[in-house]
């Protein structure tokens, strides 16, 4: 079930019960990290609401024309109105999308943080998670029948995500890290930026929104 452990590493491995205890002991640290990360997510959600409202307005306007106005004797007149209103909404949407970054940056300044610092906190979550796996398995294990994130195992995303967290600023990622990031991008459509810390996106695809989410997944990986 597990890969072979290199000679000499067995002494560093924890038993299942020891590792589970370590996971429980890590809960306080994870809760502290997520208290800041959740504030970031709340700010981002609030900033995106205006974009979503504009998109809803665009859909309502489109449906109105498609299912009512285009069949009217005054269809040409309604079509001109539709195009002009849609242009206005598209302009508003573009401005709102730009404002998301402005609102987020301003709000983070108020709590003494930046997107970069939030990304570092996400990297710390990945570091703790990878440490748990290392303590239990000594090296990168090969575990079957586990949760997948797109086309790859959750273990691969955690392990290489932590490596990304440590080395993202070195430029060209290692092959395994690059392959993991490429798979996340192609499988799930998330934006990956080489040369930048993508740990917030990695945490997002893992579905980790709280310490309990992390702990639940880790306990399954140390059985």
Q: What is the pLDDT along the chain (223 residues), one digit of tens a residue?
A: 333 334 344 456 789 899 999 999 999 999 989 888 887 777 766 666 677 777 888 888 888 878 888 888 888 888 888 888 888 888 877 777 666 666 666 666 666 667 788 889 999 999 999 999 999 988 888 888 899 999 999 999 999 999 999 999 887 889 999 999 999 999 998 888 888 999 999 999 999 999 999 999 999 998 7
Q: Where are the domains of the chain?
A: 10-221
Q: What pLDDT, on the 0 to 100 scale, is given for residue 99?
A: 66
The pTM of this model reads 0.69
Distance CA 142, CA 214 (A): 19
Q: What pLDDT, on the 0 to 100 scale, is given for residue 9?
A: 42
Q: What pLDDT, on the 0 to 100 scale, is given for residue 85?
A: 83
Structure tokens belonging to residue 58 = 């665009």
Dihedral angle, C-alpha 108, 204, 54, 102, nearest 10 ° = 20
- CA dist list (Å): 154 to 86, 92, 114, 182: 42, 39, 28, 15
Within 10 Å of residue 110's Cβ, how many Cβ atoms?
A: 8
């Amino acid at each position: 079930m597990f890969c072979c452990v290199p000679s000499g590493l067995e002494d560093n491995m924890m038993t299942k019960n020891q590792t589970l205890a370590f996971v429980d002991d890590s809960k306080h640290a994870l809760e502290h990290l997520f208290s800041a990360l959740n504030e970031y997510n709340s700010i981002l959600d609030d900033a995106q609401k205006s974009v979503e409202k504009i998109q809803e307005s665009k859909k309502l306007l489109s449906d109105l024309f498609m299912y009512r106005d285009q069949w009217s004797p005054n269809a040409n007149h309604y079509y001109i109105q539709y195009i002009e209103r849609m242009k206005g909404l598209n302009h508003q949407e573009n401005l709102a999308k730009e404002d998301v970054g402005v609102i987020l940056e301003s709000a983070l300044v108020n709590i003494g943080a930046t997107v970069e610092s939030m990304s570092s906190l996400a990297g710390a979550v990945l570091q703790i998670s990878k440490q748990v796996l290392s303590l239990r398995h000594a090296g990168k294990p090969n575990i079957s029948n586990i949760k997948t994130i797109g086309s790859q195992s959750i273990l691969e995303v955690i392990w290489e995500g932590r490596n990304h967290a440590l080395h993202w600023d070195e430029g060209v990622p290692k092959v395994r890290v690059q392959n993991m990031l490429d798979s996340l991008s192609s499988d799930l459509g998330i934006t990956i930026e080489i040369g930048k810390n993508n740990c917030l996106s990695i945490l997002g695809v893992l579905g980790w929104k709280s310490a309990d989410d992390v702990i639940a997944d880790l306990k399954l990986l140390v059985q």
